[in-house]
Amino acid sequence: MAEKPWESEGLTKEEYDMIIDILGREPNKTELGMYGVMWSEHCSYKNSKPVLKRFPTEGKHVLQGPGENAGIIDIGDNQAISFKIESHNHPSAIEPYQGAATGVGGIIRDIFTMGARPIASLNSLRFGELDDEHVRYLFAGVVEGIAGYGNCIGIPTVAGEVYFSNAYKGNPLVNAMCVGIMDHEDISTGRAAGVGNPVMVVGAATGRDGIQGASFASDELTEESEEDRPAVQVGDPFMEKLLLEASLELIKTGALVGIQDMGAAGLTSSASEMASRGGTGIELDIDLVPKREEGMTPYEVMLSESQERMLVVPKKGKEKLVKEIFSKWGLHAAVIGKVTGDGMIRVLNKGEVVAEVPARSLADDAPVYQRESRRPDYLDEVQNYDLSRLIEPTDYNQSLLEVLGSPNIASKEWVYQQYDHMVLVNTVVLPGSDAAVLRIKGTKKGLAMTTDGNGRYCYLDPERGGAIAVAEAARNIVCSGAKPLAITDGLNFGNPMDPEIFWQFEKSVDGISQACRALNTPVTGGNVSFYNESPEGAIYPTPVIGMVGLLEDINLATTHHFKDEEDIIILLGETKEELGGSEYLKVVHNLEVGRIPELDLGLEKKVQETCLEAIKAGIVKSAHDCSDGGLAVNLAESCISSGLGARIKIETDLPPAALLFSESQSRIVITVTKDNLAKVEELAKKHAIPFTKLGEVMGDRLIINNLIDLEVEEMKRRWQESIPSRMEE
Amino acid sequence: MKFAVITFPGSNCDRDVYHVTKEVLEQPTDMIWYNDKLDLSSYDCVILPGGFSYGDYLRAGAIARFSPLMESVTGYAKDGGLVLGICNGFQILLEAGLLPGAMKVNDSLKFVCKYTKLKVINAGTPFTNRYSKGEILNIPVAHREGNYYIDDEGLAELIANNQIVVKYLDDEENPNGSVVNIAGICNKEGNVFGLMPHPERCAESILGDGSKDGYELFASILDYVNKRGEKCG
């Protein structure tokens, strides 16, 4: 063996010594490779575990919290929802199409592994600014990859978010979320139980692709990373469609003990995690694994990240049934070993034992580190920036058009028109509104779902930024008429060895936890992605929240566009002078500084309750979360999507820029008919929240005090053409 | 009446079509696995749904046409049976030679999913009898290979035989660059119809932008079959 064999597997000398302690001997190359991937951050969460424990994970709807392939929540009538978000940042930075495509494929597998039929995909994307050619290449490739995989497998991509900032120039973020639905009795887990039960690999054959992908994901991107392209897997959505149908058919038979996706760290992770959860061991024979290539070594077979494979443990005697089902779908199903009682992962090759290590030591006993944490120095400088020195714009129309034309605010039609967002005929609210809404066939119910995160906020204040991400996700869910149920989190950060990065991570988790507690939306699972750095530095700390909510009555699904002239426009909540971290500051003043908006979680909850109560009373014609871009952008968006204008008159002491562009939290704009104005006022009083009548829907211009007077068509052009015009350069 | 919906490996709108014919139109419907059953004679209409049959590898619909069931579909169509191909189903009908012309990748080279305005050109087919000629429909598309192509001679024949059934309203509405904005065509006999837009996605007003224009297409088939039954009976 090499002089420092641990280095090539991404382990430290101390970790190598721990392995020797566990085994009572030196590990061989295959064993060391298995520890290398399982003890990588990507698989073991060794740097994040102690912090993730702070999340609230319990609630009366939660059927499965963190720890399985995906979380599960109860939605009544014997039905349940499984959902999770996962990152595929590094692969997408190197090979945008395949990186994003396999990200989608991986998270879809996590969902049907739980026994759920996937019904929707979402995503959360971050790129550098679009004036850079390489960024445009990454953006176009990622969107095409998500489309290529999702469209082919036939799962609608119904919602998401895209932001552009130089902080992500060298390290884009690609987080994919999937939501599935199932009956309670079909809930499956990744457990290898019952000594003597067969262990089978089903789906695609194993090749040399993606070896050490998990380790690659747990390192910073460098100039040489493009040479790691072979570590990026290649996806085959057609194969996965067959695997999905075959797996769900198999789960329905009740012949299964456990089933697990082979994602990161392939056979090594699926075997050790299933055995560890079941308190058992697994013995498997390399010779029996269907392979695509000749002469693969045990190391390569155990570490391959070939896509579209699953490990299943059927009840003894059901092997033939498994083979029959998979052969109907044209897929491999091969017995490769059996469940044992000794707790070991034992790998045989041509009759010889080539690896023998305790399953638990791989899956659960990775070292856990309490990393050093320190408040970054930059915070004082950016937070204390004196915004009062800023000069008010001379032409607010111009400022609004500039903000509407910012790719962060502008229409994302260029993106979502490439996604099939209607297949499965459930999509009630199309992309572009606050949250996607899907009906649940055969019931009156519906599901609302969204992804939310604001990296700039978290850069300026990770704790409050984390809390705001949850609050905003919940507000989006509420605006669509649903009650928020639970979240999944995608935590994207830089190198955790840097105490300042680790501080950002800790604080973000604290903020998310506070908001989840206050809004009663527990965390059911998620993903941590560290090492999001390029030679230009770390990304903005970017926690992304994926949230799911339930509509008791699908007919109450609400959209953000104005409906009819003369409807009254109402603001629930209050606008304050809070321009710190706003899109306006970035676009008009080229500044990413200041104190981000306050978040009063008590008020937030009351505003949401008021809105939901009004929607349930059937009196709300439109509802729109007021956040990025502020009140002016909120109103403009409701105008643009309806083609209707609005006349707004607000009495205020706020400076005009703050009135229009402040991103104060806990605000929702709703419209109602004149007759229902009093009812909403009453509700607002009951919940003791600020209430302002802003004006009414009318004409084809947006008029706000004497500040804004713009044709809806003109705003629409700026908003609609922003991204396409940049991409056609 | 009785519908058959064919599932090829990679079909992904099969359940959607089934949902519409079975639950919305409330007609008996069988889902047929592509190599399970070869005799289609007991059905009043056979539907080839959208999706990515065989992953659309090689070319959309190019492999599905070789599946054994397609021979049965061809025989069924020759005997006058109603065959509807939606999106990938349309592509398969072209590849199988049941309809003339071919499909190219969209001019934009991108997948496109959105509502489009269509104009009914031929309201006399079994699939469009509930529409009126010139009626404007709002039906979504979702495809990457929907750029219908046919040479001038073929086009002249399509026009002469009134085989162009639906067109995109104008060049602006055309999402893919198809010849003379063609969205759907039928064979000379009028019993085989293929279109790129997805009528099954707008058969219920709760969905998307609320259009129910797709419902009428399925209802047309039902009306036609019922009337034909009365005549024969």
Q: What is the per-residue pLDDT across A294-349, written as a single tens digit (0 to 9) for each?
A: 899 999 999 998 888 999 999 999 999 999 999 999 898 999 999 999 999 999 99
A189-234 pLDDT per residue, tens: 899 999 999 999 999 899 887 676 656 665 666 656 655 555 567 7
Residues B78, B86: Cα–Cα separation, whole Å: 19
Q: Select from A151, A422, A554 the Cβ nearest to the Cβ of B140.
A: A422
Domains belonging to chain B, first-starting first, are 3-232 (3.40.50.880)
> Does residue B233 carry a pLDDT above 70?
no
B52 touches chain A (CB under 8 A): yes
pLDDT at A423 over 90: yes
Both structure tokens of A614: 């009004």
Q: Which pLDDT score is estimated for A229?
A: 52
All residues of chain B having their beta carbon less than 8 Å from the beta carbon of residue A249 are: none
Q: How far apart are CA A356 and CA A373, in angstroms?
A: 37
Mean pLDDT, residues B26-46 = 91
Characterize the bridge pairing of strands A446-452 and A537-538.
unpaired
Flag if B19 and A242 touch (Cβ within 8 Å).
no
Catalytic, B87? Answer yes
Per-residue pLDDT, averaged over B48-65, amounts to 82
Backbone angles phi, psi at A184, to 5 degrees: -55, -40
For residue A22, pLDDT beyond 60 = yes
Residue with token string 């598309």? B141
Q: Which of A88, A421, A561, A624 is catalytic?
A: A88
Interchain pair A151, B52: CB under 8 A: yes
- Least confident span in A292-301, A546-555, A582-591, B63-72: B63-72
Neighbours of A380 (CB within 10 A): 10
B201 Cβ contact list (under 8 Å, min separation 6): A422, A423, A425, B16, B139, B140, B142, B207, B208, B214
Distance CA A417, CA A411 (A): 11
ipTM, 2 decimals?
A: 0.96
Nearest to B207 among A152, A241, A427 (CB): A427
With cut-offs at 50, 70 and 90, classify the pLDDT of residue B65.
confident
What is the band of A395 on the pLDDT scale with cuts at 50, 70, 90?
A: very high
Chain A residue with CA closest to B10: the answer is A238
pLDDT tens digits, one per residue of A533-552: 988 899 999 999 999 999 99
Cβ distance B202 to B211 under 8 Å?
A: yes
Pairing of strands A256-261, A79-87: unpaired
Per-residue burial over A76-102, b if 16 or more Cβ lie within 10 Å, else e, is eeebbbbbbbbbbbbbbbbbbbbbbbb
What is residue A167's three-state secondary structure?
helix
Q: Which pair of structure tokens corresponds to residue B163?
A: 């085989």
Which of A42, A90, A560, A561 is labelled catalytic? A42
pLDDT for the residue numbered A215: 60
Q: What phi and psi values does residue A69 have, to the nearest 5 degrees?
A: -65, -30
Q: Which of A237, A420, A430 comes nearest B208 by C-beta?
A: A430
Residue B220 has pLDDT above 60, yes or no: yes
Which secondary-structure segment (H or E) carries B164?
strand B164-168
Q: CA of A729, closest CA in chain B: separation in Å?
A: 15
A255/B contact by beta carbon, under 8 A? no
Provide the token pair at A246. 């075959």
A88 given a catalytic annotation: yes
Q: Looking at residues A595-614, what average pLDDT do you find?
A: 98
When pLDDT is averaged across residues A560-588 and rounded to a whole number, the result is: 97
A421 CB neighbours in chain B (<8 A) are 113
Chain-wide mean pLDDT for chain A?
Answer: 94
pLDDT score for A213? 61
Nearest CB among B57, B111, B201 relative to A147 is that of B111
> Nearest residue of A to residue B11 by CA position?
A154
- Nearest chain B residue to A155, by CA: B12
Give the pLDDT mean for A94-100: 95
Over residues A692-719, the mean pLDDT reads 98
Number of H helices, E strands in chain B: 5, 11
Task: State the number of CA atoms in the 13 A half-sphere of A158 facing the CB.
Answer: 34
Which of A:401-430 have CB within 8 Å of B? Answer: 416-428, 430
8 Å CB contact of B207 and A152: no
**Rounded to a whole number, what is the distance in Å from the CA of B229 to chain A's nearest CA?**
31
* pLDDT tens-place string over residues A664-684: 999 999 999 999 999 999 999
Q: Please indicate whether residue B95 is annotated as part of the active site.
A: no
> What is d(CA A220, CA A535) in angstroms, rounded to the nearest whole number?
9
pLDDT over 90 (residue B62): no
Q: Edge-to-edge strand order for the sheet containing A568-572?
A: A622-625, A668-672, A568-572, A691-697, A646-648, A701-704, A708-711
Measured between CB atoms, does B89 come within 8 Å of chain A?
Answer: no
Who has greater pLDDT, A134 or A263?
A134
pLDDT by residue (tens digit) across A158-195? 999 999 999 999 999 999 999 999 999 999 989 999 99
- Residue-level pLDDT at B60: 74
CB-nearest to B9 from A329, A428, A555 is: A329
pLDDT score of B68:
84
Which pLDDT score, from 0 to 100, does residue B146 have? 96
Q: In chain B, what percentage of residues exceed pLDDT 70?
A: 99
Within 8 A of A428 by CB-CB distance, chain B residues are 206-208
Q: Does A472 touch chain B (CB under 8 A)?
A: no
Closest-CA residue in chain B for A141? B110
Cβ neighbours of B9 in A, within 8 Å: 238, 241-242, 329-330
CA of B53 to nearest chain A CA: how many angstroms apart? 8
Are the Cβ atoms of A421 and B12 closer than 8 angstroms? Answer: no
